[in-house]
Amino acid sequence: MNSKLIFICDRATLSDPGSYGFSVEQNGEPVEGFVVKSNYAYFAYRNSCPHTGSPLDWVEHQFLDADETLIQCAVHDARFIIDSGECISGPCLGESLQTLPIVVQDDGIYLQGS
Ligand code: FES
């Protein structure tokens, strides 16, 4: 198994709560994703809404709703639970964002290679 780590960003990049969109390359393929920090924990998902496959953010790095308690898709306003990625309102109700495996270290947040 390849345990290569791909750097996403410094931990200080994210406030709490906060979100950060990224684009990295893994095995020659682009990975578009975002990281959310909430209650000291980090979560990462592909930047692809289960409704249409569109990116969730219209404003760069903004993936949270106004209360910063849910992930929001800016296209048709779907809302997702931060720590599970499950859609709880909107056109893709009951579907989920695709989780990305991350590793959080002192020097940064990394995508876990496969
Ligand atoms: S594309 Fe996300 S709610 Fe429609």
**pLDDT score recorded for residue 68:** 97
Question: Residue 97: how many CA atoms within 13 Å on its side-chain side?
Answer: 34
For the CA of 77, the closest atom of ligand 1 is: 3
Whole-prediction pTM value? 0.95
DSSP state of 62: -
For 88, how many CA atoms within 13 A lie in the half-sphere containing its CB?
Answer: 10
Answer whether residue 114 shows pLDDT above 80: no
71 CA → ligand 1 middle, Å: 12
Cβ–Cβ under 8 Å, residues 6 and 103:
no
> Ligand 1 site: residues with CB under 6 angstroms?
49, 51-52, 54, 73, 75-76, 78, 90-92
pLDDT tens digits for range 25-77 = 998 899 999 999 999 999 999 999 999 999 999 999 999 999 999 999 999 99
The strand pairing partners of 46, in sequence order, are: 33
Instruction: Compute, in angstroms, the gap from residue 79 CA to the centroid of ligand 1.
Output: 9
pLDDT, tens digit (0-9, with 9 covering 90-100), for 65-93? 999 999 999 999 999 999 999 999 999 99
Per-residue confidence (pLDDT) for residue 9, from 0 to 100: 97
Taken in order of first residue, the domains within the chain and their CATH numbers are 5-112 (2.102.10.10)
Q: Residue 18: which pLDDT band, with cuts at 50, 70 and 90?
A: very high
The predicted structure's pLDDT at residue 113: 81
* Span from the CA of 54 to the centroid of ligand 1 (angstroms): 7
CB atoms within 10 A of CB 105: 10
